């Protein structure tokens, strides 16, 4: 089951959920900083970054369908996340529609 802060995005956005035991967790702060520098690229992919309180640090990629697509236990570079997203069939269809002007 998705945490409420992630579930509200189902069918509208992809989510990078930054799970941490505390908002001051150094890994969570590092992960937020990495994504703060790539806002436009996130917007192009309908991607939002959401903090989630949890027991252990993790970064989750959640698709628009609400399914977990990948999980990391260390901060991850945005380009790694973008590569995974760009390989997804739904994202490929979105890019094709945008190129054709639909």
Q: Residues 60-97: pLDDT tens digits? A: 999 999 999 999 999 999 999 999 999 998 888 888 88
The predicted pLDDT at position 91 comes to: 85
Domain map (residue ranges) of the chain: 4-100
Average pLDDT for 8-22 = 96
Q: How confident is the model at residue 55 (pLDDT cuts 50, 70, 90)?
A: very high
CATH architecture of 4-100: 3-Layer(aba) Sandwich (3.40)
For residue 101, pLDDT beyond 90? no
Work out the pLDDT band at 102, boundaries 50, 70, 90: low
Listed residue (56, 67, 87) closest to 6, CA to CA: 67
- Position 94 scores a pLDDT of 82
- Residue 34: both structure tokens together: 């990495």
Look up residue 90 and give its two tokens: 């739904």
The closest alpha carbon to 17, from 2, 1, 39, 30, belongs to: 2
């Amino acid at each position: 089951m998705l945490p409420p802060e992630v579930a509200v995005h189902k069918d509208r956005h992809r989510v990078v959920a930054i799970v941490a035991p505390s908002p001051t967790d150094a890994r969570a702060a590092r992960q937020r900083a990495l994504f703060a520098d790539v806002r436009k690229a996130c917007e192009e992919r309908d991607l939002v970054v959401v903090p989630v309180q949890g027991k252990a640090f993790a970064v989750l990629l959640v698709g628009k369908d609400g399914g977990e697509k990948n999980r990391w236990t260390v901060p991850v570079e945005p380009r790694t996340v973008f590569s995974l997203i760009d390989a997804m069939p739904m994202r490929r269809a979105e890019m094709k529609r945008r190129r054709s002007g639909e």
